[in-house]
Amino acid sequence: MERARKLKPLLNRIPDIQRGVSQQREHILTNTILIGQVPPISIAMKEDDVEKSAVNLRARTLLDRMAELGVDEVASDASGNPVGIIKGSAETDRCIVVAAHMDTVYHFEQEAHLAIDDKVISGPGIIDNSISLGILLSLPELIRALDLRFDCDIVIVGLNESIGAKNLSSIRRFLDNWKRPIAAGIILEGAELGRLNYFSRSMSRYEISCEIPMKSGWENKYGSNAILIINDVINRILEIHLPQRPQTQIIIGKIEGGIKHGDLALTGELGLEIESASNEMVQAISRKIEDIVDSIAHEYLVDLRIKKISGVDAARLEYTHPLVKNTIEILETLKIKPIIESSESELSIFLNHKIPAITIGLTHGENYHTENASAEIEPLVQGVTQLLAVLQSIDKGVTDEQ
CATH (domain of 378): 3.40.630.10
Strands 115-116 and 120-122, how do they pair?
antiparallel
The answer to whether residues 155 and 257 belong to one domain is no
Query: In sequence order, what are the residues at sequence separation of 6 or more whose Cβ sits closer than 8 angstroms to the Cβ of residue 290?
Result: 306
Nearest CA to 272 out of 298, 309, 325 is that of 309
The answer to whether residues 146 and 94 belong to one domain is yes
The answer to whether residues 260 and 307 belong to one domain is yes
Contact between residue 284 and residue 246 where contact means Cβ atoms under 8 Å apart = no
The answer to whether residues 223 and 359 belong to one domain is no
pLDDT at 221: 65
Instruction: State the burial class of residue 152 (Cβ atoms within 10 Å of its Cβ: 0-12, 13-18, 19+).
Output: buried
Question: For residue 237, what is the domain's CATH number?
Answer: 3.30.70.360
Residue 193 lies in a domain: yes
Q: Calculate ∠ Cα 156-161-163, nearest 5°.
A: 110
Alpha-carbon span 361 to 359, nearest angstrom: 7
The answer to whether residues 153 and 220 belong to one domain is no
Measured on CA atoms in the order 368, 369, 374, 379, is the torsion positive or negative?
Answer: positive
Domain of 237, in residue numbers: 202-311
The answer to whether residues 162 and 42 belong to one domain is yes
The answer to whether residues 194 and 274 belong to one domain is no
The answer to whether residues 240 and 349 belong to one domain is no
**Strand, coil or helix: 48:** coil
pLDDT at 402: 56
Residue 402 lies in a domain: no
The answer to whether residues 244 and 374 belong to one domain is no
The span from the first CA to the last CA of the chain, in angstroms, equals 13
Residue 187 lies in a domain: yes
The answer to whether residues 5 and 90 belong to one domain is yes
The domain tally of the chain equals 2
Boundary-marking domain end, from 293, 311, 329: 311
Q: How many CB atoms are located within 10 Å of the residue 228 CB?
A: 15
Single-letter residue type at 259: I
The answer to whether residues 307 and 364 belong to one domain is no
> What parts of the chain have a pLDDT lower than 70?
1, 46-53, 215-222, 401-402
pLDDT at 49: 60
Measured on CA atoms in the order 100, 104, 109, 110, is the torsion positive or negative?
Answer: negative
Q: Please give the order of strands across the beta sheet that includes 73-76.
A: 73-76, 82-86, 153-159, 95-101, 182-191, 357-363, 195-197, 339-340
Boundary-marking domain end, from 264, 287, 311: 311
Residue 351 lies in a domain: yes
The answer to whether residues 91 and 185 belong to one domain is yes
List of E strands, 120-194: 120-122, 153-159, 182-191
Residue 401 lies in a domain: no
Boundary-marking domain end, from 278, 311, 344: 311
**Strand, coil or helix: 226:** helix
Residues facing residue 117 across a β-bridge: none
